[in-house]
A and B are shown apart, each in its own frame.
Chain A
Amino acid sequence: MEQAINFLSNHRDIIYILILSVIVGVEVIGKVPSALHTPLMSGANAIHGVVIIGAIIVMGQASPDNIPALIIGFLAVILGTLNVVGGFVVTDRMLEMFRKKK
């Protein structure tokens, strides 16, 4: 019991972020017209590309003689960028279609 309380107390920042982000995520999606589901999913897809930051950190901290880490890190940066850039561009293309009506 005491351990659990200590754990919660020590990690309260993360727990705050966790709970608030979950609520915000649910709230934001709640009232979306179904016509926008696809662009929204695509936009959310681009946002989780934020994992690229982890790839940059891992790559930037890899020591120059650790070849496997450098190769995997380099690939991770490429993949993460693909997720971010591709995701935002594809979303923009979908939304462009909504704009030029009539």
Chain B
Amino acid sequence: MENNILQIIYLLASVSFIIGLKMLSSPKTARQGNFLAAAGMGLAVIATIFLYQGHEGPLGNKIWIFLGIAIGSLLGTLSAKRVKMTAMPQMVSLFNGMGGACAAAISLIEFGHIDASSPTGMVFVVVAGLVIGSISFSGSIVAYAKLQEIMKSTKKLPAHNILTSGMLIGITGLTTWMTMGHIEPGTFYLLFGLSLAYGILFVIPIGGADMPVVISLLNSFTGVAAAFGGFLYDNQVMQTGGILVGSAGTLLTVLMCSAMNRSLTNVLFGAFGSGSSATAGAGGPKSEMNIKPTTASDVALIMHYAKKVIIVPGYGLAVAQAQHVIHEMETLLEANGVSVKYAIHPVAGRMPGHMNVLLAESNVAYDKLVEMEEINEEFAMADVVYVVGANDVVNPAARHDPSSPIFGMPILNVDKAKTVVVSKRSMAAGYAGIENELFGYPNCLMLFGDAKKTLTEVVSELKAL
């Protein structure tokens, strides 16, 4: 009886995940969708604790289970509530890593319950759960550390790709070997270590701009690891939840890649990492570019008398926490009859939609945020484009220079505007590690300094006008 009730609850929870995910894909219903999925999850968890019937009867150690859930809920809620909006991507990565570690931990314990007489399928899901969970865990932690700037460099070992390919072959080989019935603890722990190391080496060489893609990919990995747990316990809610995230996450990863006009293999194994940054480092800043620095008061003046201003926010805006000041600037300009819009590149910030979240936080109206395809036609009519903390997504080289690493990436055509103001801390290259020829264009003015500081100056100049 208990078991039948549990199965029905699992069914309801699975449906809540599917509908929740569907509702999450529209701005109007997103919040309820998230709540629905959370409710389904809560129900499934409570039902499991009280109704689950294993081979040895109901579950024991309930006190420890409740204590674990209490600690996890407290830590999870506190860290999720306290995290700054700008640090959101790495927070997601961290939580993802926790899920991966959880899957790996389950396999570590279940390994004690398998032996040579266990069914092949069971051995496989235990081993595969360990491998994928571990890769997802260590990879997510590295992604977190890189985004949090605890770990700064994008290191590549000599013959990195060969080394990681070799490890991958080793992991696949050992997994097959164990599945064939060779259940030795030594092999199992070797596989554990190898998977952890692979996760680290897999993420380390990937540049900051590509981190969202990696997080999304690791997210789908954890989904698959959860699904393996579902096969192990013949637990349908884990299966549907896991596979759902596995497939949705994979598609999301591909969508992010196509927004940058790059293939997934290109993101993971090549391009921006070694080649281009090496040339940028060796060549240094190009001296022939004619840079025109400007001041906050000049910028305030030209915007004050403009008809149409387009703001292009990038990750620099997020780092400087300047989203509130920029909204203040927008309000001042609008009060003066200037039309202000924000141009959002699909990969602006560190994740798709990152800029929308940030700007929404400072009460910028949703309809002022215009996506790339739409706004690109408007740049030619704009008097001033204010680029703040964005770089690679406005580099015209992507349109015409086949030798550029970002050639072919869709960009915001800011150079078509009458005047482009670029607010930037220095002439340093962006995440792709390449020069931006836009800065040398005749219609481009450089406003050097911290994004928030310069914006605050512009705002006070606007007030004085």
A41:B249 contact, CB within 8 angstroms: yes
Q: Which of A65-101 contact B (CB under 8 A)?
A: 66, 69-70, 72-101
**CB < 8 Å neighbour of A101 from B30, B71, B232, B363:** B363
CB distance from B64 to the nearest CB of A (A): 5
Measured in the bound complex, the distance between the Cα atoms of B354 and A94 in whole Å is 9
Q: Is B385 an interface residue (CB 8 A)?
A: no
A77 nearest in chain B by CB position? B68
For A14, the chain B residues whose CB sits under 8 A away are 231, 239
Q: Which DSSP category, helix, strand, loop or mixed, fits chain B's interface?
A: helix
For A21, the chain B residues whose CB sits under 8 A away are 239-240, 243-244, 247
Interface range, A side: 35 or more
For B255, the chain A residues whose CB sits under 8 A away are 29, 34, 37
Counting residue pairs across A and B whose Cβ atoms lie within 8 Å, the total is 374
Interface centre among B71, B232, B248, B255 (most CB of A within 10 A): B248
CB-CB under 8 A for A53 and B244, given A28-B22, A38-B88, A81-B69: no
Measured in the bound complex, the distance between the Cα atoms of B159 and A64 in whole Å is 48
Q: Which of B59-114 contact A (CB under 8 A)?
A: 59-62, 64-65, 67-69, 71-73, 75-77, 79-81, 83, 85, 88-89, 91-92, 94-96, 98-99, 101-103, 105-106, 108-110, 112
Q: Is B174 an interface residue (CB 8 A)?
A: no
Measured in the bound complex, the distance between the Cα atoms of B360 and A70 in whole Å is 45
A98:B366 contact, CB within 8 angstroms: yes
Q: Which of B234-263 contact A (CB under 8 A)?
A: 235-249, 251-252, 255-256, 259
A44:B71 contact, CB within 8 angstroms: no
Q: Is A5 an interface residue (CB 8 A)?
A: no
For B363, the chain A residues whose CB sits under 8 A away are 100-102
Q: Is B226 an interface residue (CB 8 A)?
A: yes
For B302, the chain A residues whose CB sits under 8 A away are none
Measured in the bound complex, the distance between the Cα atoms of B171 and A36 in whole Å is 35
CB distance from B434 to the nearest CB of A (A): 24
Q: Which DSSP category, helix, strand, loop or mixed, fits chain A's interface?
A: helix
**CB < 8 Å neighbour of A29 from B25, B79, B105:** B25
Measured in the bound complex, the distance between the Cα atoms of B351 and A33 in whole Å is 13
Measured in the bound complex, the distance between the Cα atoms of B112 and A74 in whole Å is 16
CB distance from A93 to the nearest CB of B (A): 7
Q: Is B440 an interface residue (CB 8 A)?
A: no
Measured in the bound complex, the distance between the Cα atoms of B102 and A56 in whole Å is 10
B366:A41 contact, CB within 8 angstroms: no
For A64, the chain B residues whose CB sits under 8 A away are 60-61
A83:B95 contact, CB within 8 angstroms: yes
B76:A81 contact, CB within 8 angstroms: yes
Measured in the bound complex, the distance between the Cα atoms of B30 and A50 in whole Å is 20
For B216, the chain A residues whose CB sits under 8 A away are 41
For A22, the chain B residues whose CB sits under 8 A away are 243, 246-247
CB distance from B13 to the nearest CB of A (A): 8
CB-CB under 8 A for A78 and B71, given A51-B238, A54-B103, A58-B106: yes
B44:A50 contact, CB within 8 angstroms: yes
A88:B34 contact, CB within 8 angstroms: yes
Q: Is B219 an interface residue (CB 8 A)?
A: yes
A39:B357 contact, CB within 8 angstroms: yes
For B95, the chain A residues whose CB sits under 8 A away are 45-46, 49, 82-83, 86-87, 90
Measured in the bound complex, the distance between the Cα atoms of B108 and A76 in whole Å is 10
Q: Is B2 an interface residue (CB 8 A)?
A: no
Measured in the bound complex, the distance between the Cα atoms of B26 and A26 in whole Å is 15
**CB < 8 Å neighbour of A36 from B62, B346, B353:** B353
CB distance from B244 to the nearest CB of A (A): 5
B366:A83 contact, CB within 8 angstroms: no
**CB < 8 Å neighbour of B18 from A28, A53, A72, A102:** A28
27 contacts between A and B (CB under 8 A): A22-B246, A25-B246, A29-B25, A34-B371, A38-B353, A39-B34, A41-B252, A43-B24, A44-B21, A45-B95, A46-B41, A48-B241, A50-B13, A56-B45, A60-B49, A62-B60, A76-B106, A77-B72, A81-B69, A83-B98, A84-B72, A86-B76, A86-B91, A87-B76, A87-B80, A91-B24, A92-B35
Enumerate chain B interface residues (CB-CB to A < 8 A): 13, 17-18, 20-22, 24-27, 30-31, 33-35, 37-38, 41, 44-45, 48-49, 52, 54, 56, 58-62, 64-65, 67-69, 71-73, 75-77, 79-81, 83, 85, 88-89, 91-92, 94-96, 98-99, 101-103, 105-106, 108-110, 112, 121, 215-216, 219, 222-223, 225-226, 229-233, 235-249, 251-252, 255-256, 259, 344, 346, 351-354, 356-358, 360-361, 363-366, 369, 371
CB-CB nearest 8 A-B residue pairs: A81-B72, A60-B59, A77-B68, A25-B247, A86-B76, A85-B76, A37-B352, A50-B241
